[in-house]
Amino acid sequence: MTTSHTRYPTIDVVRGVAVMGILLMNIIAFAMPENASLAPGTWRPDSFGNHAIWAANFILIDNKMRGLFSMLYGASMLILVTRTEESGGNGMARHYKRSFWLLLFGLIHYYLIWDGDILSLYAMTGCIAVLFHRMRARRLIAVSMLCFIGQFLLWSGVFASTIEADRLARLPGTSTAILKVAEENRQDWGATNSKETLEHVKVHRSGYAAILHDRAVENGSMPLNLLILYGMETLGLMLLGMALVKNGLLTGNWTAQDEVRLAKAAYLIAMPGMVLLTLMCMVRGWDPVETMLSSVLWSIPFREAMTVGHAAFLVMIAKRFAGSALSGRISAVGKTAFTNYLGTSVVMTTIFYGYGFGLFGHVTRAQAYLFCFAAFGIMLLWAKPWLTRFQQGPLEWLWRSLTEGRLMPLRRISAAQPI
């Protein structure tokens, strides 16, 4: 590795795209009932572009940006641990300190701000992933593949009864009991204006106390549930990120030809599968059970491949346009990703929830994305000027200070100090 002060520009750019992409993935859960992320018919199904926008997000964004973010967390973890050890420190101990504080940030985020938190999941999963940091790249890739297979098998078991009820309900002469179960599943997973959906809207249009009660009391175990339900996939993505640092892709050491080859191969695996799943959902009338299963279960092999394709493509683009004004601003967004991620939650919940401007459920899918583009503009505008004056984003600095047990310097000593 390089000196402890060296950054990899490609990683910063990819992280900048990923943190903006996370908002593209999350905006529907901010703006309307959360099942609308899984099923286009959940809320205002006849609004302009509803199904087309859902399909485009499903194919290109949903779970892929989370995948990139997870890979980059694994990559950063490896770099931090390795550099700490090269400097004579205890890399594992430092990582576990960071993880403790990240878990605390994540729990505060989940309970007090927004229930879509992934920080606590990263903190807990990262404590396992770091145990593999000495493993060679090929073995890391092999273990990550096993994690993805394990995730597929886990979800297959979780949804086995749902899949069977849905299959039986489509056969002639199916009993009333089976039809009832199948319909209950449709209601649970996002049938238009279902009782659960309307209750969700009511809660999020109300005051802070009601929303806090929903998160802390009704769904208080969600951070642990996410570890159980998404831990294997997240671990696999972190290990994959570590492997892509070790083999040089994320650090920009591949040739453009090799990056293109990997991107093409990954997209050739991913794109047909994602498009086929989308067509199946369309043929089935955008049935909420079908779209949910496609989003959560059937897409697993294809979304992991597309995540790798996105990584290779973005590294190639970052290298090609290195030094450009836009690349510099995206890189700055990546360097302040922690602040941008949490800041986005504060801003979006204030815009949409009842204790803020109360727009929850009042916007269409198309309109919700306009808020994304506004947020991207703010991220691109503030991050670079901030980093010309300060060494880190405000929350990055706070996290580092808590980890080190002392207030770390924040303001830049001179303009010549590298950003």
pLDDT tens readout for residues 374-399: 999 999 999 999 999 999 999 999 99
Assess contact for 205 and 359: CB atoms under 8 A.
Answer: no
Give dist(CA 155, CA 161) in Å, integer.
Answer: 11
| Average pLDDT taken over every residue of the chain | 96
- pLDDT for 418 equals 52
Read off the pLDDT of residues 92-102 as tens digits, 9 standing for 90 and up: 999 999 999 99
Assess contact for 123 and 106: CB atoms under 8 A.
Answer: yes
Give dist(CA 45, CA 125) in Å, integer.
Answer: 36
The pair phi, psi for residue 209, each rounded to 5°, is: -60, -45
- pLDDT for 1 equals 31
Q: Show me where the domains of the chain are located.
A: 9-404
- pLDDT for 5 equals 55
Read off the pLDDT of residues 220-276 as tens digits, 9 standing for 90 and up: 999 999 999 999 999 999 999 999 999 999 999 999 999 999 999 999 999 999 999
In order of 57, 221, 272, the CA distances from 225 in angstroms are 25, 6, 32
Share of the chain above pLDDT 70, in %: 97
- pLDDT for 270 equals 99
CA dihedral 389, 393, 399, 403 (to 10 degrees): -40
**CA-based nearest residue to 223, from 374, 303, 65, 116:** 116
What is the band of 2 on the pLDDT scale with cuts at 50, 70, 90?
A: very low
**CA-based nearest residue to 300, from 98, 140, 49, 67:** 67
